[in-house]
Structure 1
Amino acid sequence: MSSTQIVTFNNARLAYGRRVLWQDLNLQVAPGEFLAVLGPNGSGKTSFINTMLGTTALDSGQVRIDGQPVRRGSSAVGLIPQQRPFGDNVPLRARDLVALGVDGTKLGIRLARKSVAAKVDELLELVGASGYANRPVSDLSGGEQQRLRAAQALAGDPRVLLCDEPLLSLDLHHQQAISQVIHQQAVQRGSAVIFVTHEINPILPYVDRVLYLAEGRFHIGTVDEVMQSHVLSELYGAPVEVLRVNERIVVVAGTANRALPPDGHEHPEVPEDHEKHGGK
């Protein structure tokens, strides 16, 4: 195994009962690389993220982060989750939420409040959230809250940044802003970015490679190598046409002659929230 790889999957297999999500997966993700993970609902995209978080166990094979076996709570891993609104009247300011990412795992009284505050200010500026640093998080829009989640994930300067549908439910402006922040982490800090999404177009300028999961199979390659009609047709076992329209990728189900998002979103299988925890 090359020491330059941050994420390494060796002969990885994951299944739910008799349904295999993938097997014989060999994948290496290098520093600064932006890997997009696509596939229909139930193809195992979130499970793929969870194997690197240590919350979902492989059936066989191995996954390593920075050369070490995966473990829960590793400082080498940062996570930007899906956008979910906070409840009303949450008594927490934006900067307090980000501060939890800076020293939230430490017990006792903060002994270096100035250094924590300085780090929080740096992170807020990085994600473009300085303007509402002192506002309650429950008063912020979904896009503003998602910027704070990005700041939290970046607080530990992670070696790998896992992004689980972070653009879901965001408008185009906030999609672009969050995507740029994530890309900066790869370029400026050399983090490996693994970005699960149902829509590749907002991140298309940044993607180095694609891992496409479908029907228990997968394909890995550049965008041009993977987003091809014959590749997706083989994965789905049905006619699929991939079109380029105004620098966007559109996937069309050949049998129905209707446009689908680039992940083939209308092919649900195993629910994504049906995760495996702690073993086979």
Structure 2
Amino acid sequence: MDRREALAPLSRPDSGAQPDSGPPAISLRGAALAYGERVLWQGMDLDVRPEEFLAVLGPNGSGKTSLLRILLGRQPLTAGQVSVLGRPPDRARGLVGYVPQQNSLPAHTLLRARDMVRLGLDGHRWGLPITPGAVRRRVDELLDSVGALPYADTPIGRLSGGEQQRVRIAQALATDPRVLLCDEPLLSLDLQHQRTVIRLVDRRRRAAGTAVVFVTHEINPVLGPADRVLYLAAGGFRVGPPEEVMTTEVLSQLYGTHVDVVRVRGRVVVVGAPDAATDAHHSARPNGGRTPWAH
């Protein structure tokens, strides 16, 4: 198998299921990321259009979070070019919302849920402040939209991991971002709240034309709204509509070994993806680390 095939996108950067034909919200050309001699991905040409929902999948260590850090201007590419809203990423931060990976806050944290969301709303502003009444209404609206209004006045440190994550999502949406970057926002959430979060993000991008880059370990919750999938694995990548990327042939090319992709009752299940090289604990699993992934 020619490993170069695994580096090629399924579609051109300006093709595929993209809702807007205008200038891209995110653009990468010849992008590469490496740590020393270890190349995570290279030769990436990718446009994400306004209103597009791009799901980013792949095993641990494949560079999913690093990609978001690059788009936030917190980490440089090893090679190539990147722009966000037509400018360098560090000059677009005020127009980008970000939901970080789940990281439970200490129990003694006294900042309330509503205070955390308000920081996202006016913590960076200069000049005339928003009226207190308008701020409170907006904060309540955001908290309610993610199911967090009942604990708006609870110290954030006393909330469960899933409750904290919903507050972070509300905070990320506070400034009406034109680009929304989500790093595993469904972690610690039950199925009902996963659906709530996905509906919220989907409604937001459709109503406001927000481009969404949504890193996740599981494709099934986002199969509906996802326009395209960017799958990172084994130093390569594939990008295209979910039905074209999530196949036995494509993932087998990416991993350099046979991987089965099956559909069971409407769910996509990936069996045999060997991610032991990037996630050491998989080597202790049976079947040589050939682990079924419920994508």
| Aligned twin of 1:35 | 54
Q: Which deviates the most, 119-128 or 242-251? A: 119-128
Q: Give 1 or 2: higher helix fraction.
A: 2
Q: Which deviates the most, 230-239 or 68-77? A: 68-77
Identical counterparts, % of pairs: 52
In the TM superposition, what whole-angstrom CA distance separates every residue of 1:201-229 from its partner, at most 9, and x where no partner exists?
A: 12221111000111111101111100010
Contact 1:55/1:72 (<8 A) preserved: no
Structure 2 Cα separation of the partners of residues 37 and 141 of structure 1: 26
C-alpha change, 1:254 and 1:174, in structure 2 (3 Å) is closer
| Aligned twin of 2:208 | 189
Size of the aligned set, in residue pairs, is 263
- Which of 132, 140, 155 is the equivalent residue of 1:113? 132
Contact 2:162/2:187 (<8 A) preserved: no
Deviation (angstroms), 1:107: 6.4
Quick one: which amino acid aligns to residue 55 of structure 1? R
Structure 2 Cα separation of the partners of residues 131 and 175 of structure 1: 18
Q: Secondary structure of the residue that 1:86 maps to in structure 2? A: coil
Deviation (angstroms), 1:153: 0.4
Residue 59 in 1 paired to residue 102 in 2? no
| Aligned twin of 1:277 | none
Contact 2:255/2:273 (<8 A) preserved: no
Structure 2 Cα separation of the partners of residues 259 and 246 of structure 1: 20
C-alpha change, 1:134 and 1:219, in structure 2 (3 Å) is same
Runs of 4+ in 1 over 6 A off after TM superposition: none
| Aligned twin of 2:17 | none
Q: Secondary structure of the residue that 2:135 maps to in structure 1? A: helix
| Aligned twin of 1:85 | 104
- Which of 75, 88, 97 is the equivalent residue of 1:69? 88
Quick one: which amino acid aligns to residue 149 of structure 2? S
Quick one: which amino acid aligns to residue 207 of structure 2? Q
C-alpha change, 1:17 and 1:261, in structure 2 (3 Å) is same
Contact 1:3/1:67 (<8 A) preserved: no
Structure 1 Cα separation of the partners of residues 127 and 29 of structure 2: 40
Residue 98 in 1 paired to residue 130 in 2? no
Quick one: which amino acid aligns to residue 25 of structure 1? M
Structure 2 Cα separation of the partners of residues 119 and 166 of structure 1: 22
Cα-Cα RMSD: 2.2
Deviation (angstroms), 1:28: 0.6
